[in-house]
Amino acid sequence: MNANPKDAFSVSLSKFHRKSVHSQMANTSGSNQLSDVPNTPLPELKGRGLQSAKIKASPKRSPHVLKFYVHDAQCILNDPIKKANRRYENQSEYVFVDTYLDALQMIAQEEKKIKYANGQTIQSEEFSEQQISINPQPTLPNLIRERMRVYAQSQQKEPQSKSQLEQRQPKKVIKTATTLMTQKIFPNKLTLSLSVHQAIPSIKNKVSAKRWVMFTKQKNEKFFNKLVGWQEFQKGEVASITKIMTCYTTLIFLKEQNIESDQIKIKIPGHAECIDGTSAFLNAGGILTIKQLLFALMLPSGNDAALVLSFTIAYLMILQKTEIYQYNRYLKGAIIDIEPQIERSKKLLKHTFLDQMNKHANSIKMENTNYSSVHGLNDEKNVSCPHDISKLIEKCIQLEVFLEIITTKIYKTHALTDKGNKSTFYKWKNTNKLLKKSGWMGVKTGVTPNAGPCFTGYFKNDNLEAIIVVLNCSSMNQRFRDAEVLLVSAQK
C-alpha cells in the first residue's frame, strides 16, 4: 500500500489479514452480477494477533451481520420510501457480509466491473486517499469506508503509562455464594446480609433444576426441617404440580363433610374432552366416582379430570348452602350431571373452587403461592415456589387416600352407564418413574413450556423421610436424577 504509515486508516488495515471472499460469495444473493469479473483479490493485509476476516461457510448466518445494498446506493439513500419497498419486494438484491473488509472487497469487485465495462484499465487495486476522503459522497460504499476510517482512528489511542495504570483502583471482588462454594471459603460469622444459599453443602453431581428444596425428617423427629435449598422462595409457574392442591382441596372437602371418596357419582361432561395438555382421555357420558377421578388426576396427570373434579366439588359446595335437599340426594347415590351446571354458571363454579384452593394455601402459610388454574396449564398468575410446595406435601401425606393414590403405579377401572353396566375401560399409568425404586412413594410430575420439567418426590424408609421439590429442570429424565442426587446427599 502506498499510504503514509502514520495514517490512521492504513495502520488499522495493517492489523487485518484478509483472504479473497469472491468465491465464497458465489452462493449469496447478488453475487451473480459479479461472477463475470476476474477474481483478483486485494493485496494481503497481514495481521497482528487477529483472525482472518472470512465469511462463515455455514448456511445459518450470524444474526450480527452487516447488511447493505450494493446497487443503486445513491437512489436508495435519497429515497427512504423506495428503500423500504425494495427491502420487502426484492430481498435477493441484498448481500450479507461478516466484516467491513468483506464489504470493501465487494465494493472493489463492483468498481472493477464498472471500469472493465467502460474499457478502462486498472493500475492498482489499492485504496487511495482520495477514495477515503473525509467528506465522501453520500453513497453506501463510501459510508462504509468512513466507518472504517473512524474505527482506525479509535485504534490509534496511545496506551496509558505505568503511572496512570497504577493510579487506577482495582475492582472489588464480590464473593457470591457460588464463588464461596467453588473456592471452599466460608466466613467465620454469617451475617443477615449474606444469602442463605451460602450454607448449601457441596453436592457432587450437578442439579440442573433452577429452583429446588429438600425437607427431611429423621426417625425420632416429629416435623420436617429444611436441609438444603436453592431459590426455594422464588415464584414461578409450576405446571401440573398444581394438581396436588386440586387433589388436596377435594379430599379436605370430603373429609369435612364425612363423605367417602367413592360415594359421589359423576357423569362426565363434554367439556372434559375439549381441554388441552395431558389427559386421562375421559369419555363424555360415562359415570365415574370421585375416587376414580382422583386416580385420573394424579397418575396420568389428566387435565380433564381436574376440570370435572373442580366443577363437581364447587357445585356441591354451592348446593350445601342453597339447596340442601338436592345435596342430600347426591350423597345417597344420585348421579350428578354437571354438564347443565357448567353451561349455566361456569365462571361461578371455577372461581368457587379456586377461592377454596387459595384459602387452603393461606392456612398452610404458602406465602409465595397463588392459584388461578386447577390443572396448571400456562398461566402467569398461577405461581408457587419449592418451599411452599413442600409445606403442601407435608399436609397431603397425612391423608391415607392421598398416599394410596400417589403410590399406585397402574390403576385399572371401568366407567358405568346410567343403568349401572360397565362402559369404557381405563388403564392409567403413573408418570413418576421413581416408584420403581425402593423407598419412593410419590408425588407428582409436571411440565409446560414456561415451567419446564418439574417433579415433587416423597421418600420414606426406616430412618429417614424426605420431601424433594425440583422445578424447571433441564430435561424430563433429569428431573428424576436431580431428586436422587439430593436424596443421596441427605443420606450421607
* Residue 152: per-residue pLDDT: 59
Most confident of 98-102, 109-113, 157-161, 373-377: 373-377
* Residue 155: per-residue pLDDT: 52
Across 210-233, average pLDDT: 92
Residue owning grid cell 473456592: 183
Across 119-129, average pLDDT: 46
* Residue 35: per-residue pLDDT: 39
Q: How many CA atoms lie within 13 A of 218 on its CB side?
A: 6
Question: Which one has a higher pLDDT value, 219 or 206?
Answer: 219
Axis crossing angle, helix 140-154 with helix 100-117, rounded to the nearest 10: 140
Query: For residues 181 and 31, what is the distance between their CA atoms, to the nearest angstrom?
Result: 55
How many C-beta neighbours within 10 Å does residue 144 have?
A: 20
* Residue 238: per-residue pLDDT: 96
pLDDT in tens, 243-254: 999 999 999 999
**176 pLDDT exceeds 80?**
no
Reported as a pLDDT band with limits 50, 70 and 90, residue 177 is: very low
Per this entry, what is the length of the chain? 492
Query: For residues 18 and 41, what is the distance between their CA atoms, to the nearest angstrom?
Result: 9
Among residues 187, 182, 217, 188, which one has the least CA distance to residue 202?
182
* Residue 162: per-residue pLDDT: 52
**175 pLDDT exceeds 70?**
no
Q: How many CA atoms lie within 13 A of 166 on its CB side?
A: 3
Across 448-473, average pLDDT: 95
Across 180-186, average pLDDT: 38
Check residue 77 and give left, alpha or beta (phi > 0: left; psi -120 to 50: alpha): alpha
Across 26-38, average pLDDT: 41
Reported as a pLDDT band with limits 50, 70 and 90, residue 306 is: very high
- Mean pLDDT, the chain, rounded, equals 74
Q: What is the DSSP letter of 267?
A: E
> Reading across the β-sheet that carries 410-416, which strands appear in turn?
335-337, 265-267, 287-289, 410-416, 422-429
Q: Which has the minimum average pLDDT: 90-99, 321-330, 336-345?
A: 90-99
* Residue 200: per-residue pLDDT: 54
* Residue 186: per-residue pLDDT: 35
Q: Which has the minimum average pLDDT: 42-46, 297-301, 362-366, 435-439?
A: 42-46
Query: For residues 244 and 445, what is the distance between their CA atoms, to the nearest angstrom?
Result: 10
Stated pTM of the model: 0.62
Q: Alpha helices of 364-476 — where are they, by DSSP H?
A: 386-396, 400-406
Facing residues of 416 across strands? Answer: 287, 422
Residues 6 or more apart from 143 whose CB is under 8 A from it? 136
Reported as a pLDDT band with limits 50, 70 and 90, residue 385 is: very high
Sequence letter at residue 403: L
Q: Which has the minimum average pLDDT: 96-110, 158-172, 203-217?
A: 158-172
Among residues 458, 454, 480, which one has the least CA distance to residue 467?
458
Is the separation of the CB atoms in 405 and 305 below 8 Å? no
Reported as a pLDDT band with limits 50, 70 and 90, residue 113 is: confident
Across 48-72, average pLDDT: 40
Q: Which has the minimum average pLDDT: 175-189, 200-214, 317-331, 440-454?
A: 175-189
Phi and psi torsions of 424, nearest 5°? -65, 135
Across 42-52, average pLDDT: 39
3-class SS at 234? coil
* Percentage of the chain modeled with pLDDT above 70: 60
Query: For residues 213 and 215, what is the distance between their CA atoms, to the nearest angstrom?
Result: 7
Sequence letter at residue 440: W
Residue owning grid cell 348421579: 335
Sequence letter at residue 410: I
Reported as a pLDDT band with limits 50, 70 and 90, residue 109 is: confident
3-class SS at 336? strand
One-character DSSP codes across 87-119: HHH-GGGEEEESSHHHHHHHHHHHHHHHHHHTT
Reported as a pLDDT band with limits 50, 70 and 90, residue 458 is: very high
Among residues 99, 52, 51, 90, which one has the least CA distance to residue 72?
90
Question: Which one has a higher pLDDT value, 492 or 126?
Answer: 492
Provide the strand spans (E) within 207-269.
Answer: 211-218, 225-230, 236-237, 265-267
Reported as a pLDDT band with limits 50, 70 and 90, residue 491 is: confident
Across 32-47, average pLDDT: 42
Q: Which has the minimum average pLDDT: 38-52, 242-256, 303-317, 451-465?
A: 38-52
Reading the block at residue 147, the C-alpha cell is: 466507518
**Structure-derived torsion over alpha carbons of residues 458, 462, 464, 468, reported in degrees to the nearest 10:** -10
**50 pLDDT exceeds 60?**
no
3-class SS at 211? strand
Reported as a pLDDT band with limits 50, 70 and 90, residue 115 is: confident
Q: Which has the minimum average pLDDT: 39-43, 187-191, 253-257?
A: 187-191
Residues 6 or more apart from 169 whose CB is under 8 A from it? none
Reported as a pLDDT band with limits 50, 70 and 90, residue 185 is: very low
Residues 6 or more apart from 112 whose CB is under 8 A from it? 37, 38, 40, 122, 125
Question: Which one has a higher pLDDT value, 433 or 71?
Answer: 433
**79 pLDDT exceeds 60?**
no
Reading the block at residue 426, the C-alpha cell is: 381405563
Is the separation of the CB atoms in 76 and 83 below 8 Å? yes
**398 pLDDT exceeds 50?**
yes
**55 pLDDT exceeds 50?**
no
* Residue 136: per-residue pLDDT: 42
3-class SS at 454? strand
What is the distance between the terminal CA atoms of the chain, rounded to a whole angstrom?
Answer: 71
Query: For residues 440 and 457, what is the distance between their CA atoms, to the nearest angstrom?
Result: 7
